[in-house]
Amino acid sequence: MLKNYVTLLQTYLNSHDTNLNAPPKNVIQYLSDHLGVVATLTELSGRPMVHCLKSQMHIALLDAHFDGETDETMQSQVEALWRDAISFADSQQQVVSAVA
């Protein structure tokens, strides 16, 4: 389920990135590299793993675009893109759950 969710996020980001620098193309590799962090956050926070994954992915997307520098306009565009990607992935997961 988690890998499918990440794939949905990656699909959305790759197809809707117009004016921004390309987001991380291999989001699944990022997940693999940081799954231990996500699992630890899940255990410590008691939150569902998908929520912890969203937090980690959000940080990764911002880091990929800013490299420590922040431009408010670009940051708001990246955050809007990320929110839309999460909404898309959430809605697709609900469709899959309803069908199953």
Cα angle for residues 48, 63, 91 (degrees, 5° grid) = 40
Three-state DSSP class for residue 70: coil
Tokens of 83: 């929110």
More confident residue, 23 or 2: 2
- Regarding pTM above 0.85, the answer is no
Distance CA(87)–CA(12), nearest Å, equals 10
Residue 10, pLDDT score: 76
Over residues 42-67, the pLDDT tens digits come to 788 888 777 777 777 777 766 766 66
Residue 37, pLDDT score: 76
Three-state DSSP class for residue 17: coil
The end-to-end CA distance of the chain, in Å, is: 13
Distance CA(75)–CA(58), nearest Å, equals 11
pLDDT higher than 60, residue 36: yes
Distance CA(25)–CA(17), nearest Å, equals 11
